[in-house]
Chain A
Amino acid sequence: MIPSVRSLAATAVALLALPTLSSAENVKIGAAFSLTGNAAAYGAQQKAGVQLAIDEINKSGKLKGITLELVLEDDGTSKEQGIAVFQRFINRDKVSAIIGPTLSTTATAADPIAQQSKTPVVPVSNTAPKGITDIGDYVWRVSLTEGQVIPSALKVAQAKIGFKNAAILYGNDDAFTKGGFDVMKSSLEAAGIPIVDIQTFATKDRDFNAQLTALKAKNPDFLMVSALVEQAAAIVTQARQLGWNVPIMGGNGFNSPKLMANAGPAAEGVMVGTAWNKASTDPVNVAFIAAQKARGNDPDQFCAQAYTGVLVIADAIAQAGMKGGRDDIKAGFAKVKDLPTPLGKFSFLPSRDGSHPAAVQIVKNGKFEILQ
């Protein structure tokens, strides 16, 4: 192959640029994920996501002269440690932006610290509809809220099944499942679908037969369930054991391969809204999955969102004219528009919440497939 004049010129430019690289600017990005504790399963995927994104961006030289440096810390799935990590990032590591923390509850305690010291925060997995971006103008959320995913998932499911009414089952003592329920209820109401019954359970419950029998007696066409993944599998299994074959749609808690691992064949046909369409043939997405698999990781939604978080920060630096200061990045976020990411074309809404297409998955042969 004969090297073209252009590629030779590019090589020359790159070689010329090399000496300046040593004096290049390092922009530190802090990532606070739950690597231990209850949410550790999510944290591992998030870590894989940000590491890949940082490596790729530094290698590509997209941020001329700027090298991103990752500072990763464990928030231990605790409020106390989340706050400590944020203060460490801001005052000791002097990061330009923070990705995380994993859980919304940690975010409500830690994000105000970043807001006070004017450090941009990018939540990549906080789905609580309220109380995250409300913290202040330095919080720019990549993850879609339940309020964004559930209504569109509901629309797709209804077009497919055409149910006339619905019932809801939810855990009422957990912030995450209660938040999911609020959205399910309001989206059903907004879609004009009557809710025939609502049943609740507690996080520690393992037997859902009483609630399921009561729901079955009302004979709804469709069942929405807001539960954490441990209960999700039990609920689905016990419903099928009762001989009840109602179509089930879960909240974000169902969004884990653990559902199929624990529920087995009972999980077949269960639907769940998702922020990431794994089956998307968009080249950015295909490349992302291939790169993750090459590193020995089977990526999930949390991985894709964390990866996107870094892409968004890098784009904000570029939009700010290759400047990596805290306020530069914050100003850059506002200009991020239709950024190609594994999640699809990404932009921010005026509320500083992320906006990109959502999808519906359905369990088929023990795997999530995209419901078209």
Chain B
Amino acid sequence: MTSSSLQDLWLTYQSTVAFIGLNGLLALSVYTTLSCGQLSLAQAAFMAIGAYVSAILTFHSGAPFAVNLAVATLLPALVSVPLGLPVLRLKGVFLAIATIGFGEVVRIFFVNLDYTNGALGLTAVPQRTSIWMIYAALGTALFVLWRIRGSRAGYALEAIREDEPAARTMGIDAARYKLAMLALGAAFAGLAGALEAHYTYMVSPSTYSFTRVVDMLVYAVVGGTSVFYGPVVGAAFLTALPEVLREISARVGLAPGPLRLFVNGAVLLAVILFLPEGISSLPRRIRDRLRARREAHAA
């Protein structure tokens, strides 16, 4: 392969690579709250706050992009605290419903905000995001989650996830940990929102609807939530799949259309059926299978 065709290949798939990173970051933001047993569906709202704030700063201030990103990361985390204080008293499906409500309120706020053109949103946002920034953000998020795991906080989170009353009797301040994880997840989502806005040239309220959170949740579930990098694996798989299928159908000469969507769904279903703990559990399952076979031979 010549260097120019390699370069073409990179140019062709650079957006897929970028979206794998962005969706990975979003999947981690859902995972962060899931890691202490909380199902928060407000991530799209935090993402919207990050996206709008950074775009407004880009348009109306000369601040460097790094400052924009910092604000877009911190503001959603700050907003999540007053939201989390009352809402995190709820559990399970009630928490999910309350956070969906918050998500809708934020979306409708932006729909009615004339300053950002309402439903039309902001267009012609300058492209400031480079792919290395996306991966630096993703790497940082993974590093933070990796450091938490195995630390005192990590064990506390696991205890809360498994049995919250028991964890509280052990003297773990469950409310504080849950709030901290909600804020961390909000920060990841806000950063992803800002990076996406400056990659796709636009911010519009319809991008941050409920279906977007469902996407993030599906990334996390398909990738597996038992390990911290599982959601990133899921996001990479689900983001790349449509483009891989596009390439395959182009090579075999299939006309583009609903068939690709169908295969996409079938692959997803197969993963859920045969790998209920997510794609990231695949190496472990293979190892277990091999060990079982060895033991059978030995016996």
Contacts and interface: CB of A to CB of B under 8 A. Distances in A.
Contacts of A113: 15
The binding surface of chain A is classed by DSSP as helix
B205 interface: yes
B121 A80 contact: no
A72 interface: yes
Interface in A46-96: 72-74, 76, 79-81, 83-85, 87-88, 90-92
A90 B8 CA distance: 9
Interface of A: 35-36, 40, 72-74, 76, 79-81, 83-85, 87-88, 90-92, 105, 108-109, 112-113, 128, 130-131, 134-135, 172-175, 177-179, 202
B207 to A, nearest CB: 7
B206 A174 contact: yes
Interface stretch (B42-50, B161-169, B196-204, B269-277): B196-204
A179 B118 CA distance: 10
Contacts of B258: 35-36, 40
The binding surface of chain B is classed by DSSP as helix
Contacts of A134: 123-124
Contact of A92 (B8, B16, B121, B123): B8
Contacts, number: 94
B201 A112 contact: yes
A161 B124 CA distance: 41
B111 interface: yes
27 contacts: A35-B258, A74-B260, A79-B200, A80-B19, A81-B242, A81-B243, A84-B13, A84-B15, A85-B246, A87-B13, A87-B14, A90-B11, A91-B12, A92-B9, A105-B204, A108-B123, A108-B201, A108-B202, A109-B202, A112-B124, A130-B120, A130-B123, A172-B112, A173-B108, A175-B119, A177-B119, A179-B120
B18 to A, nearest CB: 9
B63 interface: no
B214 to A, nearest CB: 14
Contacts of A128: 120
A254 B201 CA distance: 29
A192 B229 CA distance: 62
Nearest to A90: B11
Q: Which 10 pairs show the lowest CB-CB distances between chains A and B? A: A91-B11, A131-B123, A178-B119, A74-B256, A173-B111, A92-B12, A109-B200, A91-B12, A83-B15, A36-B261
A90 B207 CA distance: 25
Nearest to A85: B246
Given A130-B123, A134-B123, 9 more contacts: A80-B19, A83-B200, A87-B13, A112-B124, A131-B124, A135-B124, A172-B118, A173-B111, A178-B120
Contacts of A92: 8-9, 12
Interface in B93-141: 108, 111-112, 118-121, 123-124, 127
Of B13, B111, B201, B256, chain A has the most CB atoms within 10 Å of the CB of: B256
Interface in B240-263: 242-243, 246, 255-258, 260-261
Contacts of A79: 200, 202, 207
Contacts of A73: 246, 256
Contact of A74 (B14, B127, B202, B257): B257
Given A76-B242, A174-B206, A87 B12 contact: yes
B254 to A, nearest CB: 11
B204 A72 contact: no
Contacts of B119: 172-175, 177-178
Nearest to B123: A131
A185 to B, nearest CB: 13
Nearest to A131: B123
B118 A88 contact: no
A178 B120 CA distance: 7
A264 to B, nearest CB: 29
Interface in B1-40: 8-9, 11-16, 19
A173 B120 CA distance: 8
A175 B127 CA distance: 22
Contact of B11 (A35, A36, A87, A105): A87
Nearest to B126: A112
A35 B206 contact: no
B123 A91 contact: no
B248 to A, nearest CB: 13
Interface in B211-265: 239, 242-243, 246, 255-258, 260-261
Nearest to A113: B15
B257 A35 contact: yes
Given A73-B256, A74-B256, A84 B111 contact: no
B245 to A, nearest CB: 10
B16 A84 contact: yes
A3 B223 CA distance: 72
Contacts of A74: 246, 256-257, 260
Interface string B157-201: 000000000000000000000000000000000000000000011
B184 to A, nearest CB: 25
